[in-house]
Amino acid sequence: MDISVWFFISSGLFLGWSLGANHAVNVFGTAVVSKMVKFRTAAIISGIFVVLGSVFSGAGTTKTLTDLGSINAIAGSFSVALAVGISVTLMTRAKLPVSTSQAVIGGIIGWNIFTGSPTDYNSLSKILFSWIASPIIAAIFGFLIFKLIKKTVLKWKIHLLRLDNYTRIGLIVVGALASYSLGANNIANVMGMFASAPLFKDLNVGNIIVVSSVQQLFLLGGLAIAFGIFTYGNNVMETVGTDLYKISPITGFVVVFAEFIVLFLFTSQSLEAFLLKNNLPAFPLVPLSTTQAFIGAVIGVGLAKDPLSINFKVLGKIGIGWVVAPLSAGLITFISLFFIQNVFEQKIIHPVPYQITTSVITKLNTEGINTEKLNDLLDKRFTNNKAFLNELKSRYDYNSEHIYSIYKYALIDSFKIDSLRINELPVNYQLSIAQKVKLAELHGKSFSHKIDFEEAVFSNLPDWRFSGNKLIDKEVEEKKILIEELFRVTNKNKSNNF
């Protein structure tokens, strides 16, 4: 692999280090501050479980982040990761537990603005929902769990030394679980921007285990997070552990346990499948702000124990950090992209072609988007995001959602159907006879737009329709994505496009 790849990845590793340094407080800060667990012990346990979570469960939240803004050039990924890392490091130096997820979102939107790329507001709304919901849910769980322990365990009159021992074990267990969830949920923030490029070859370990290129990337990111926890993690603990609220060992256990529950809700693919199977609404799988969940849990416990003991001035200071982080990350990203592109002459985005066709016009009309002034653009191709954006805005005052829809449908995304390849599908996603016959009829057909491909393959066939059952509908959607990936004409040498 080219040495330049390691240089570009270094910004992701730096971001991982920053995340670990800033988020160590969220998993073992209460145990360390309350003197129940030594920092060195906590850092080792946390590091191990962060790496395990990153490698084995890190894929669930990555898609939402890449949908928000698909950074398709490694120099662009480098710039965003570096900007976010700098922003998080500055917050860490100020001893503020900042939200890395918020900083990453700010960086990606900064990249979208600089390159003229559209922002997926559906993905953004999911992420914003998690920012609001996670501290509230954590506060509720923290409040309820503390009340439950107060009415049960604390009334059992357990000997103080034995209670301390139980509490220490509990802190280690929930700290390990929270560390696993931290890695699973936040590796998307660290390495998700690099996941689209096959930077490594799949590694076959003794013909028993195959470690994919993405898992290798997540392993590096997990190790960077673990290193950040070990080298600098104890510096942020003072702000939350001693300034915001005086945390005792038992309250520390409750806080981390509540935080873990929230991380699990927004990360677990198994929980999502269970809820959908029972036709229940599922939590969106998004990179969560673990800091917000942790602070929410602290507030919940504080309200349950003694509301007057909460230092709301410190809470306000932390809240300011949550606002400053995404704004500073977006600004630093914008500036760094300018220098990377114009001073160092690196390609921060690969040209993506767009073309307005009759089918695109028809699709936009069905969504109520004005296309009257787009008719003279029929079959005209654009290879520059900003040029296409300026052309659209010069003709009509489209809002951001309209712009995103036009970009999505006009994108030239070539497909060629080879019905013989359906045997490559995973066993659990096999097609019905009707679906196979349809693909056989379309064998050899080519499509330049995704909407044309979807119309030909998925329309007028009951097997592809949504039934109203949430789990079945999700499986149908996943099968559609697999079919699209199977027949998409892609550049097989992405790793050389740096």
For the chain, 498 residues long, the average pLDDT of each consecutive 10-residue run is 77 91 85 87 95 82 70 86 87 75 89 89 83 92 94 83 92 94 87 71 74 85 94 72 67 92 86 82 79 88 85 79 88 94 89 93 94 90 90 90 93 94 86 94 95 93 88 88 89 41
What backbone phi and psi angles, to 5 degrees, belong to 390?
-65, -35
Q: Which residues contact 481 (CB under 8 A, 6 or more apart)?
A: none
CA nearest neighbour of 369 among 331, 399, 344, 339: 399
- How far apart are alpha carbons 214 and 82 in whole angstroms? 20
What backbone phi and psi angles, to 5 degrees, belong to 381?
-100, 140
Dig out the tokens for 270 from the structure. 């198994």
**pLDDT tens profile 154-203:** 788 888 889 889 999 999 999 999 999 899 888 888 887 786 655 777 77
Whats the size of the chain, residue-wise?
498
Residue whose token pair is 């806080």: 255
Q: What is the pTM of this model?
A: 0.80
Its sign, for the CA torsion 480, 482, 487, 493, is: positive
- What is the helix (H) or strand (E) element at residue 204, kind and residue range? strand 203-205
* 8 Å CB contact between 316 and 95: no
pLDDT score at 247: 73
What ranges in 233-357 are assigned the alpha helix state H?
237-238, 249-267, 269-277, 290-305, 312-342
DSSP 3-state assignment of 447? strand
- How far apart are alpha carbons 343 and 10 in whole angstroms? 20
pLDDT score at 496: 41
DSSP 3-state assignment of 449? strand
Q: How open is the CA angle 74-77-79, to the nearest 5 degrees?
A: 110
**pLDDT tens profile 322-347:** 888 899 999 999 999 999 999 988 88
- Return the bridge partners of 381, or none: 355
